[in-house]
Amino acid sequence: MPEVSLLMPFYTAEDFIAEALASLQQQSLEDWELIAVDDHSNDQSRKVIEAFAEKDPRIKLFLNPGQGILPALQLASKKARGTFIGRFDADDILPSDRLELMTKVLRGEKDKCIVTGLVQYFSDRPISKGYSRYQNWLNETNLNGESWEEIYRECVIASPNWLMRRSGFLAIGGFEGLQYPEDYDWCFRCYQQGFEVHCLTTTTLMWREHPHRTSRNSEHYQQKAFFRLKLQRFIEWEAFEELILWGSGRKARLTAALLRDMGIRFRWMDLEPDKFLDGIQGHPIEDYRKIESHQGLKLLIGVYPNPAEKKDLEDFLISRNLQKGTDYWYL
């Protein structure tokens, strides 16, 4: 039985897959298996992997019995035999000590632990400001131990950048019963099940940015899909008697529309309510200073201020006895 199983669904990745596999073969920890599942690629990706697999029996190749990344992941997880399990994407690169460092942490941990590390985007073209901001935010969030406090803002564990015990993975249902975007929903599952996140202080994923990434081209990974999922999970898991939404920008308006679609009542507040005397989307806008802490109050913040404004905002919420990750969350 191998020590590590890495699951790799792939689709039309011939431009990058050989480099990805080479980085896996260069791992200092050699006791691994790769479960590669072809999601009906229309290029030479499968042949590239077949050539690698002929020379390296640790690489195992399967065809997706369904269509899309979820059935591919579900098949891969059923084929995995390792003590530890994680994901790998066909367009990324692993630093050579990734598996060694992650397994070293997990050997001393119980089932409910996820190990991640720092990510670094790379590309043959300039990285956009948006991706750079996300990289920095993700690294800072996990290093500071704030993963679950920020769970309703973004997916806090990069999908190709984690490892956990397979026993713990199976105990929470693996990838069964998830919905798209599946990486975010899986992250929610770990949050709901009380997993601890251990973040290494070194880069463990070279994350390739290119125009053909699934996250750029599938409706499953557009902003509305993420917001619909995060609000669905919030309503399921965060009990509240009164829900308040802060902000008047694009995120807040999308949140308001989705909450109304779900039949959820909420109060809507903003820093400058006088700008919206007629309300927004037919909903009255109150002054944010009207918020008062009481048992059962939950606050969703539909803006993300700069560091100085963020400190002022959070100081104000502390003065109202509201705690981040318990009483309020950023979206």
In the chain, domain spans:
4-220, 238-330
Q: What is the pTM of this model?
A: 0.92
Give the Cα separation of 211 and 204 in Å (integer): 23
Token readout for 58 is 């640790």
List the one residue out of 269, 262, 267 whose CA is nearest residue 229: 262
pLDDT band at 135 (very low <50, low <70, confident <90, very high): very high
pLDDT score recorded for residue 45: 95
Give the Cα separation of 222 and 81 in Å (integer): 33
Residue range 238-330, CATH number? 3.40.50.720
List the one residue out of 179, 218, 270 whose CA is nearest residue 188: 179
The pLDDT tens digits of the residues spanning 206-254 come to 999 866 655 544 455 588 999 999 999 999 999 999 999 999 999 999 9
Upper half-sphere CA count for residue 176 (Cβ side, 13 Å): 8
Mean pLDDT in residue range 263-268: 97
pLDDT band at 124 (very low <50, low <70, confident <90, very high): confident
Say yes or no to pLDDT of 125 above 90: no
The pLDDT tens digits of the residues spanning 177-194 come to 999 999 999 999 999 999
Say yes or no to pLDDT of 293 above 50: yes
The pLDDT tens digits of the residues spanning 254-263 come to 999 999 999 9
pLDDT score recorded for residue 163: 98
Position 105: which residue type?
Answer: V
Across the chain, mean pLDDT equals 94
Return the axis-axis angle of helices 45-55 and 17-25, rounded to nearest 10°.
20
Say yes or no to pLDDT of 174 above 60: yes
Give the Cα separation of 4 and 35 in Å (integer): 11
**Cα–Cα distance list, 294 to 125, 241, 245, 282, 330 (Å):** 50, 9, 16, 27, 19
pLDDT score recorded for residue 219: 59
pLDDT band at 127 (very low <50, low <70, confident <90, very high): confident
Position with higher pLDDT, 223 vs 167: 167
Sheet holding 196-208, edge to edge: 59-63, 32-38, 4-10, 84-87, 163-165, 113-122, 196-208
CATH class of the domain comprising 4-220: alpha beta
The pLDDT tens digits of the residues spanning 143-166 come to 999 999 999 999 999 999 999 999
- Residue 296: count of CB within 10 angstroms of its CB: 10
Name the least confident of 71-80, 159-168, 267-276. 267-276
| Tokens 């690169």 found at | 93
pLDDT score recorded for residue 217: 44
